[in-house]
Amino acid sequence: MSTLQGLAPPAPDCDPPLRDPSPAARPLPSGSCDTHFHVFGPAARYPMDPRRGYTPHEAGLDDYRRVMRALGIERGVIVQPSVYGTDNRATLDALRAGGEAFRAIVVPAADIGDDELAQMHELGVRGIRLNLLNRQMVGVDAALAVLARMAGRGWHLQVLTDLGRDPDALGRLCEQAGVPVVVDHMGKLAPSTRRHPLMDRLADGSCWVKLSAPYRVSAEASPHDDLTGLARALAEANPERVVWGSDWPHTELHEGTPSAASLAALVHRWFPDEALCRQICVTNPARLYGFAVAG
């Protein structure tokens, strides 16, 4: 596993890795949910899959709680990363430790048993991640077969794909899935995008989108001014199908990861209307992940 030694000093809008982040000048709305973060390590307990495409630094739930305090986040969704393949122990152990304020998305093996799925649901798992960009650990057919067994419990399909390269991929998945489809990282669309089949699928309610990992989509440095139009276009397509996520701990960005405060400021810049900001950060994720709707 890589270490943090020898990294470049963080840029002004970046936090030192795994230290207390600077508080947001304007916290996110009360009851906000970060719908996309990961946990990694310790390596001795949770070995990584040899097929992985990258090696992140260790970052645990206690480290993430510092981000929650800095931004005013009250709920979170732990997303199984590709580096663990179908070994969900790190994600599930963090979910178990986090309690009622957390949910999770997993990557199960195709032959997972019904009892294990039921146990995952009781812990707070609410969906399966299908990663079509990094090395694939579970195939489309296998993921959909497992989801069919959990559709009655409200699970969904979370997909990481590049809809700019394959605009029809989402339509095919929505038709096959039989459950809600949630698109990671704005579908990796070009920042200039204003019309796309993703917007059509949002409009008809057949999918959701995460406004997550802006640095993976933007062609500009923070504060990613080129993304404002795209973020607003996605929300305008259907404000009830948009959620926000931090993508902490920002895997593969080893030289100065974005500050927690800058990510919060970006949300407020995109959505200055307080009611819409609250819907995206609080109300929508409560419905999608089965949290009590905050008052």
Residue 6's pLDDT is 31
Tens of pLDDT, residues 179-194? 999 999 999 999 999 9
Residue 17's Cβ-side half-sphere holds a number of Cα atoms within 13 Å equal to 22
- Residue 10: pLDDT band (50, 70, 90) is very low
Query: Which of the residue ranges 103-112, 163-172, 216-225, 248-257 would you say has the lowest mean pLDDT?
Result: 248-257
Average pLDDT of 30-43? 97
Would the pLDDT of 223 be above 70? yes
Average pLDDT of 205-210? 96
**Order of strands, edge to edge, in the sheet holding 102-106?**
33-37, 75-79, 102-106, 125-131, 156-160, 181-183, 207-212, 242-245
Nearest-angstrom CA–CA distance, 32 and 53: 31
Would the pLDDT of 293 be above 80? no
152 contacts 124 by C-beta, under 8 angstroms: no
Residue 11's pLDDT is 41
Tens of pLDDT, residues 88-124? 999 999 999 999 999 999 999 999 999 999 999 999 9
Residue 19's pLDDT is 66
Residue 206's pLDDT is 93
Average pLDDT of 1-26? 56
Nearest-angstrom CA–CA distance, 149 and 185: 27
**What percent of the chain has a predicted confidence (pLDDT) above 90?**
80
Cα distances from 224 to residues 28, 215, 252, 267, 284, in angstroms, run 18, 7, 18, 11, 24
The more confident residue out of 4 and 81 is 81
Q: Where are the domains of the chain?
A: 33-289
Would the pLDDT of 35 be above 80? yes
Residue 7's pLDDT is 33
Would the pLDDT of 78 be above 70? yes
The residue type of 100 is: E
Secondary structure letter of residue 255 according to DSSP = S
Residue 2's pLDDT is 32
103 contacts 77 by C-beta, under 8 angstroms: yes
222 contacts 25 by C-beta, under 8 angstroms: no
Residues labelled as active-site residues: 247
Question: Where do the H-state alpha helices sit in the chain?
Answer: 61-71, 89-98, 114-123, 140-150, 169-177, 197-203, 228-237, 260-270, 274-278, 284-289
Task: Find the angle CA(58)-CA(36)-CA(61) to the nearest 5 degrees.
Answer: 40
Q: Does the predicted model carry a pTM greater than 0.85?
A: yes
- Residue 3: pLDDT band (50, 70, 90) is very low
Answer whether CATH 3.20.20.140 is correct for domain 33-289: yes
Residue 295's pLDDT is 53
Mean pLDDT of the chain: 91
Residue 224's pLDDT is 93
Nearest-angstrom CA–CA distance, 44 and 32: 33
